[in-house]
Amino acid sequence: MKNNIVLAFFSLLLLSTSCDSNKNPLIYSKNTHEKGRAIIYVEESFKPLFETSISTFQSLNPQADISAKFMTEGEIIQAFLEGKVKTITITREFTKAEKKYLKSKNVEVSSDRIALDAVALIVHPENKDTIISVPQLKKYLTDSKSTWPLSKKPMTIVFDQLNSANFNYITELLQTNKLSTHVFAAKSNEEVIEYVKNNKDAIGIIGLNWISDQEDFEVLNFLDGIHVMDVRLNENSPSFKPINGVIYTREYPLIRDVWMINKGSRSSLNTGFVNFMVGEKGQIIIHKSELVPANNPVRLIQMN
């Protein structure tokens, strides 16, 4: 009788395990390049790209579950250094000091440049000032008395967040942390776009990825109600919009790299996803998003 009860118990346990496994095979599967669970932190500037990339990767690998947290670059780097996350996407390689710190903790990382991106400047469609130079941008960011050249109206300048990749890039490019009182931060790239739509004398500073993929219906909604400014290096230089051709040739002045930094094991899902983004399929997604893939050059065609 006792043996029968034990056998019955193990039969029920196996049945329960089998049912649970069928419902969620991730619980019982080994973490590999194609299956398991992974969490990555991504700079909020690249949210549209990574939502598409993760969805595509998971459709190709049904037993893979990747969760992305979209945060500021400063928060992401701090979390990585504190050991809270294994895989991150930011706009720069680690500094010598950061590498030295990781080495002191016996942490080995791999860094892969996956794309070339840009910072875009946006204004309201009724704004007649549609071309800006880098020196002008610096003046507007630091001089509280700045006005629009044509309308003479005072301007406001809005970033996504303090310590974001956009904020860090612009302040480092201009070599200034002393910003005017008419410069402020919203909470996201999306909020910057909405602010510009509702404020005719504002400049918005956003990541290009939020408005680059014009096959995306949501991107078309963002573009309806804003104008992307032409930017030139100085007053005597030609001006360019941030499109992938002139980003690739580096003629557009406000460009930056996109890096994935990983300390996941070589056989883990984290590494599998990084390999996907560096590989052909991920690079095609980046290209379709109108950014410049790091490993597949843009094809330039000269028209006469």
Boundaries of every domain in the chain: 25-116+257-293, 117-255
Query: Cα(80)–Cα(162) distance, rounded to whole angstroms?
Result: 19
The residue whose two tokens read 């003046």 is: 139
**Fold matches, 25-116+257-293 and 117-255:** yes
Q: Which residue has the higher pLDDT, 219 or 251?
A: 251
Question: Does pLDDT of 13 surpass 50?
Answer: no
State what percent of residues in the chain have pLDDT above 70: 85
User: Identity (one letter) of the amino acid at 183?
Assistant: V
Query: Cα(259)–Cα(286) distance, rounded to whole angstroms?
Result: 13
Q: What is the pLDDT of residue 219?
A: 57
Distance of CA 176 to the CA centre of its chain: 23
Q: What is the pTM of this model?
A: 0.85
Query: Cα(269)–Cα(36) distance, rounded to whole angstroms?
Result: 6
Q: Residue 118 is encoded by which pair of tokens?
A: 């840009």
Q: What is the pLDDT of residue 28?
A: 37
In the structure, what pLDDT confidence band is assigned to residue 214 with cuts at 50, 70 and 90?
low
Of 22-26, 247-251, 252-256, 258-262, minimum mean pLDDT range: 22-26
Please say whether the beta carbons of 159 and 183 come within 8 A.
Answer: yes
Query: Cα(126)–Cα(124) distance, rounded to whole angstroms?
Result: 5
Q: What is the pLDDT of residue 19?
A: 43
CATH number of this structure's domain 117-255, picked from the four choices 3.40.190.10, 2.60.320.10, 3.50.50.60, 3.30.1330.10: 3.40.190.10
For residues 1-7, average pLDDT = 43
SS3 for 57-125 is HHHHCCCEEEEEEEECHHHHHHHHHCCCCCEEEECCCCCHHHHHHHHHCCCCCEEEEEEEEEEEEEECC
Question: Does pLDDT of 57 surpass 70?
Answer: yes
For residues 266-284, average pLDDT = 96
CATH class for the region spanning 25-116+257-293:
alpha beta
pLDDT in tens, 151-184: 999 999 999 999 999 999 999 988 877 899 999 9
Question: Does pLDDT of 27 surpass 90?
Answer: no
Handedness of CA 112, 115, 116, 119 (dihedral sign): negative
Distance of CA 168 to the CA centre of its chain: 14
Query: Cα(45)–Cα(43) distance, rounded to whole angstroms?
Result: 5
Q: For 205, list phi and psi in degrees, rounded to 5.
A: -115, 115
Q: What is the pLDDT of residue 17?
A: 41
3-state helix, strand, coil in the chain (%, to 5): 40, 20, 35
Residue 64 Ramachandran class (φ > 0 left, ψ -120 to 50 alpha, else beta): beta
Query: Cα(288)–Cα(85) distance, rounded to whole angstroms?
Result: 28
In the structure, what pLDDT confidence band is assigned to residue 282 with cuts at 50, 70 and 90?
very high
The H or E element spanning position 132 is strand 131-133
Question: Does pLDDT of 117 surpass 60?
Answer: yes
